[in-house]
Amino acid sequence: MQRETLERHQVWVYLAAIVVGLVLGSVAPGLAPILDGLLWPSLAALLYVTFTQVPLAHLPAAFRDLRFITAVLGGNFLLLPVLVWGLLALVPDDRAVRLGVLLVLLVPCTDWFITFTHQARGDVRRAIAVTPVVLVVQIVLLPLYLWLFMGEGFAEIVSAGHMTTVFVVVIVAPLALAYLTERWAERALARSAVIEQLGWLPVPLLALVLFLIAASQVEAATSAVTLLGDVAAAFIGFLIGAAALGVLLGRVFALPLEQARTLLFSFATRNSFVVLPFALALPAGWEATAIVVVFQSMLELFGMLLFLWLVPRLLLPIGAAR
């Protein structure tokens, strides 16, 4: 099996993992503490292998095309947050649910965004170049966004006992290790194969993480089911708004067709697995936050299957180059 085949069918892999996890968690609830203990090292491993696919050692490369990087950063970090603020009107007045929506919609994707760009015949080279910048900017700006959108509730989130530990162990450590791995691989041509082989792991590791969450959080998932229909409208609205913004900014910045497609997928995909550790580290009473994050990622994947048909045929077809 080729890696591209695995990535093309990843949505079904994730769905299967969730279903199996829910079944196991229902019939063997006593396993929950063990599975929960496996979740954190699995998340750290997932983030590490994913970060190795981001060219962290080549941040300056993204700024060689100022027009494209301006469109990506302006859309993701100025215009889309305004869209998210408007979509909160569709979300139930529940702090945990709203936090889940904010966490997942305010951070642009840095992994399967590249995969979908490739499948839609976008500009993969620019997609790869821009990902490290997007990753760094979102880590810096996310606390500011949460403070602006949640006000006093932000203090409670920051004061959650495990937040600092999670940030260092599950985000900073894998990021630093991935950077060192990339630098090590660049010193010898034969080592580049290591990065290539690590590229096979994000899909199975994310499936493992989803399985562990589903199996260890059955009760929380069951109690949150009634809320998912309410947040679905916001997530679908985001996909529609992101696609429209991608087409619009592609025209405003006079981007070539391939770059416009890349821009659209940058707007439409979100970094759910990066914010997932923060959602899982929240104290009791916030369990719905992680469920909302996982739900958005699954809904987004189905949305991307639709976009892979819509973008090259209707939204940004051949001949639509600026």
Question: H/E/C letters for each residue in 37-104?
Answer: HHHHHHHHHHHHHHHCCCCHHHHHHHHHCHHHHHHHHHHHHHHHHHHHHHHHHHCCCCHHHHHHHHHH
Check whether 296 has a pLDDT greater than 80: yes
Buried residues in 286-317 as b, exposed as e (16+ CB within 10 A): bbbbbbbbbbbbbbbbebbeebbebbbeebbe
Give Cβ neighbours of residue 49 (< 8 Å, ≥ 6 apart). 178, 198, 199, 201, 202, 205
The Cα–Cα gap between 320 and 127 comes to 19
Give pLDDT, residue 318: 83
Q: How confident is the model at residue 284 (pLDDT cuts 50, 70, 90)?
A: confident
The Cα–Cα gap between 260 and 308 comes to 14
Give pLDDT, residue 229: 84
Closest to 65 measured CA to CA, from 127, 109, 151? 127
CATH architecture of 3-315: Up-down Bundle (1.20)
pLDDT digit string (tens) for 241-264? 999 999 999 999 999 999 999 999
User: Considering the entire predicted model, what is its pTM?
Assistant: 0.92
Mean local confidence (pLDDT), 138-154: 87
Around Cβ 31, how many Cβ atoms within 10 Å? Answer: 13
Check whether 321 has a pLDDT greater than 60: no
- Apex CA 198: angle with CA 269 and CA 105, to 5°? 15
Tokens 């990622």, located at residue: 297
Q: How confident is the model at residue 121 (pLDDT cuts 50, 70, 90)?
A: very high
Radius of gyration of the chain (CA): 19
Single-letter residue type at 273: F
Q: How confident is the model at residue 82 (pLDDT cuts 50, 70, 90)?
A: very high
| Mean pLDDT computed over every residue of the chain | 90
Q: Hey, which of 80-84, 96-100, 164-168, 215-219 has the most confident mean pLDDT? A: 80-84
Which residue ranges make up each domain of the chain?
Answer: 3-315
